[in-house]
A = this chain, B = another copy of it.
Amino acid sequence: MEELKAAIERRFPDAVADLQRYLRQPSVAAQDLGIEATVHLCCDLVGQAGGSFRVLDDCGGNPVVYAEFEPGPHGNPDRTLLFYNHYDVQPAEPIAEWTTPPWAAEIRDGKLYARGVADNKGEQVVRLTALQALRDVDGGLPCRVKFLIEGEEEVGSAALPRYLAKYRDLFRADACIWEFGGRDELERVSLVAGVKGMAYLQLWCHGADVDLHSSLGAFTDNAAWRMVQALATLRDAHNRILIEGFYEHVRKPTAAEVAAVQRLPYDGAALRRNYGLRHPFITEAKGQDVRIAMLYEPTCTICGLESGYYGPGSKTVLPRRAQAKIDCRLVPDMDPDDIYRKVRRHLDRRGFSDIEVELLEGGEFPYRSPIDHPFVHLCVQTAREAYGAEVVLWPNSAGTGPMHPFGQHLGVPIVSTGSGYWNSRAHAPDENVRLSDLKEGMLHIAHLLRRFSATRW
């Protein structure tokens, strides 16, 4: 480990310079900004680290970069680890709120500030540098290493499942390291072994061609009222979701998964304080552990409502239309299309067939690696050893990401670990990483690769 640390220390200045070069190239998928140049630079970095690459662009969307690194002379050619990264980043707006420009990649007080540094260009450079340090020390890699680096993670990864289906042999691996992770507010290292899925529904109710004088409300129906009445059928007072069959495919957490949750940090009072929450947790009425709900329960929340007049003061109008946006966070083995159909049927059966429902962006499936898989244990153990810190394993994130097609097409266990920290501000102005975290991340990846090469399952 000490030799690896020294090798990383030697490589570090060049790695930071490479990362700055990568960051100074904007690559905003949502704005179609700099994609081609970024793909080029991404391949450069792979080549410079000694890998071969292919640019895949025959399944639509922005190109997917495939990279491969051969095992060294003493390495195990039968073990393959796959890294998932993305070269696209969030838009930099609002630019005025950045302390230094989002594409300047400046270093201040031991932190590197840039759009995409934490999410997710920094992780790619960390991983490539770990490979180089391993070669410096061991004369070669301990196993085969592959990368899938996509360019649409920030806009829903719509094409990704097609690439994974078509190139499943190319991407074949024994395990996968996901894109994010880092240290929480108490400097504990968080690992994640799954994500929730998503069915995001757009609802419309159209009542009339025009907004009407509200006096007509004595006999005409009202789009806002219908929407409220339809939505009210979806949930009871205790937040139990009433959509027929909603819970049908919810996989009960195993004893091991429930036990894993007991070890998770949780401070309800701090949450209430930090966010200024006014209401009791909805888990209270159900006698539920907040962490169990967070990880293993699906949700059905309203993200937005709009109808009629909502400016200052009064306007006596009968809204011609109403809209609602609903997101359902899904757990294994729920299916976004199935949930869409169940919402549709639920509304139809209650007389709301006039309410239009659309599943936006096709939905995402949930994914959860088996919590007792040897790879999950390995990642926790190597993190403890490399960081020398407390490690927290989240059986899955409460958030969403395109893990499911990896599991579906490659059948691999997936764990997410990375070099962010609690104030990395992904998606926000002043996104940043601590340089010390990058170094530790490199060490963890190198250590993990060594240990992974000796496993078998």
A binding-site residues for B, Cβ under 8 Å: 196, 198, 200, 202, 206-210, 212-222, 224-229, 231-232, 235, 237, 239, 271, 275-283, 288, 290, 293-294, 297, 299, 301-310, 313-319, 322-323, 325, 327, 329, 351, 354, 360-361, 397-400
Contact = CB atoms under 8 A, between A and B. Distances in A.
Contact of A327 (B316, B323, B354, B361): B316
A336 B336 CA distance: 47
A281 to B, nearest CB: 5
Given A294-B219, A303-B314, A276 B308 contact: no
| Chain copies in the assembled complex | 2
A302 B209 contact: no
Interface centre among A208, A210, A219, A227 (most CB of B within 10 A): A219
A426 to B, nearest CB: 11
A275 B209 contact: yes
Main secondary structure of the interface of A (DSSP, over half): mixed
B310 A214 contact: no
A279 B226 CA distance: 10
B214 A327 contact: yes
Nearest to A220: B277
A194 to B, nearest CB: 13
B313 A275 contact: no
20 contacts: A200-B314, A206-B278, A214-B303, A215-B329, A218-B297, A220-B282, A221-B239, A221-B279, A221-B280, A222-B302, A224-B303, A229-B232, A231-B232, A278-B354, A303-B308, A304-B319, A305-B307, A305-B319, A309-B325, A314-B360
A281 B281 CA distance: 40
B218 A294 contact: yes
Nearest to A306: B310
A276 B322 CA distance: 15
Nearest to A286: B219
Contacts of A225: 235, 239, 301-302
B310 A325 contact: yes
Nearest to A288: B219
Nearest to A350: B237
Given A215-B329, A304-B309, 15 more contacts: A208-B276, A208-B277, A214-B299, A216-B398, A219-B288, A219-B293, A220-B277, A224-B305, A302-B308, A303-B309, A304-B315, A305-B305, A310-B325, A313-B361, A315-B325
